[in-house]
Structure 1
Amino acid sequence: MKPLRSIALVMSWLLACAPAQAAQTNVAVAANFTDAAREIAAIFKRKTGHEAVLSFGASGQFYTQISQGAPFQVFLSADESRPKKLVEDGLALADSRFTYAIGKLVLWSKSPGVVTGEETLKAASFAKLSICNPAAAPYGLAAVQTIKSLNLYETLKPKLVEGATITQAYQFVETGNAEVGFVALSQLTGSDAGSRWVVPQALYDPIRQDAVLLKLGAGNDAARAFIAFLRGPEARAVIEKYGYVLDGQS
């Protein structure tokens, strides 16, 4: 009986030490954060066993969907206002909200030598300038703020082509449907192709991107773990790699 008893004790110990059962969480992610989020989710799964199922889109559209009961547990917005509003609406947990990244706006062309700085906008020698929807996507709002700061809005307004998300704004330039466009610096990570101008922060409001745990994720182990992981050193290293500024940095 002693060997059997020993085996039982060993099995009990192994079960007690085993990690919690892997869970899954649905995460709504602002389109500008696509590549970084995929990389972070892969590391998260490898480290924890939990899976973050990612959906990408415009922050304004996600806010509407979440308000209407969409089954997301975590929201990674491209702004700070919509996560804050979800907390005020009683749809997210106030103590979970934090700025996970601060984005940078870039004027970009697929062709070398086209973008040389704000002079490119002032010369307006292009036919089409791509932006994303300023009402739904914070990078679109930042683009409009930049144009207005340079007193060029009325001049450039007829040339604007608008994508629903920052991904579409990028694709307009990538496919040649617009010669130049405002995109996120993170979309250009790892490539020196074309020409670009990193827009000075003085020309637009800081793009503070907040994450928040939604009420639907309050009891979800994977959702809580993902929010915690996003604050950690491994996720922060990925965020910096994609050209974002971390909160508290200049």
Structure 2
Amino acid sequence: MPGRAAETATVAVAANFARPLAALVEAFSRRCEDRLALRVVHGSTGGLYAQIRYGAPYHVFLAADADRPARLVAQGHALAGSRFTYAVGRLALWQPAPGGATVDGPAVLRARSFRRLAVANPDLAPYGAAAMAVLARLDLTEALASRLVRAENVGQAFALTATGNADWGFVGLASVLARPNGVRGRWWAVPPGFHPPVRQDAVLLSGGRDNRAAEAFLVFLQSDEAAALIGDFGYGVPAR
């Protein structure tokens, strides 16, 4: 008799977590005994949130904040009791350059010896809101306003900086640490106290109810194996 067809879940993930999710999906696939499959869609947290509200056929949402998953639960688009924090994001000020060295980020920003600074759109992307909080803490919001280059999400902010379309960029620390040592560039790992925590929450969407692949993946995401992988990519992991 032919085997049962694989049950598939679509995971909508914030752009900053695309690389770690690829590793998690691979580990999940190795571990999973049943024929369960995952499909991944990535974008800005705000953009994915809007798509979900308008009926996009996603089963799991891995956001780059805690607010949008909570809103989806309140609006009936996600299941109550399914939301949890899977990672805590870290922000970095980064410039691509040969070699690799840390810098005094506040001094770089106050010197203003650059023309363009890439930031994710703070209205759509939590990392953008975190970047603006850093500038506010340093009392540089107005001074640097004309030099900001807005990206849709933190992944695009990284791309703008990597291609020279911005001199510096506020990016995910995980993206910096993922680069080989010889081309890691210059960076400042922003201390967590400089901005509100970038809690990244996961939630089971209404369309994922009774989807075995979606439910199993969320269980796996809370495992020690998943926590170790997430930590390897430069994210904080909440206590289980």
Q: Report the TM-score, using the length of structure 1 for normalisation.
A: 0.89
Corresponding letter in the other structure for 1:40: L
Matched-pair contact (CA < 8 Å) for 1:44–1:51: no
- Name the residue aligned to 1:187: 175
Which residue identity is paired with 2:36?
Answer: H
Structure 2 gaps of 5+ residues are none
Q: Distance in 1 between matches of 2:176 and 2:224?
A: 23
- Is the 2:102–2:188 Cα contact (8 Å) retained in structure 1? no
Structure-1 separation of matches of 2:83 and 2:102: 40
1:88 and 2:74 matched: yes
Report whether the alignment pairs 1:124 with 2:112: yes
* C-alpha distance after superposition, 1:177-231 (max 9, x if no partner): 1110000011123333111001111210000000000010011110101111111
- Paired residues of 1:25 and 1:53 also in contact (CA < 8 A): yes
Provide the residue aligned with 1:98 in structure 2: 84
The CA deviation at 1:114 is 8.9
Question: Counterpart of 1:153 in structure 2: which amino acid?
Answer: T
Q: 1:209 aligns with which of 200, 206, 231?
A: 200
Measure the CA separation in 2 of the matches of 1:114 and 1:98: 33
Give the aligned length.
233
Q: Is the 8 A contact 2:118 2:149 kept in 1?
A: yes
Q: Are 2:127 and 2:154, in contact at CA under 8 Å, matched by a contact in 1?
A: yes
Provide the identity percentage: 43
Q: Which segments of structure 1 move beyond 6 Å, counting only runs of 4 or more? A: none
Residue 14 of structure 1 corresponds to none
* Greater C-alpha Rg: 1
Q: Mapping of 1:214-229 within 5 angstroms?
A: 214-229=205-220
Secondary structure of the 1:94 match is: coil
CA RMSD in angstroms comes to 1.9
C-alpha distance in 2, partners of 1:114/1:37? 27
Task: Pick one of 141, 157, 160 that aligns with 1:172.
Answer: 160
The equivalent of 1:149 in structure 2 is: 137
- Aligned partner letter, 2:40: L
The CA distance in 2 between the partners of 1:114 and 1:201, in whole Å, is 16
Q: Where do residues 1-250 of structure 1 align in structure 2 (5 Å cutoff)?
A: 22-48=6-32, 49-111=35-97, 115-191=103-179, 192=181, 193-248=184-239
For the 8 Å contact 1:44–1:50, the answer to whether it is kept is no
Tell me the distance in 2 between the aligned counterparts of 1:114 and 1:35: 23
Q: Residues of 1 paired with 2:110 and 2:68: CA distance? A: 33
Q: Is the 8 A contact 1:116 1:195 kept in 2?
A: no
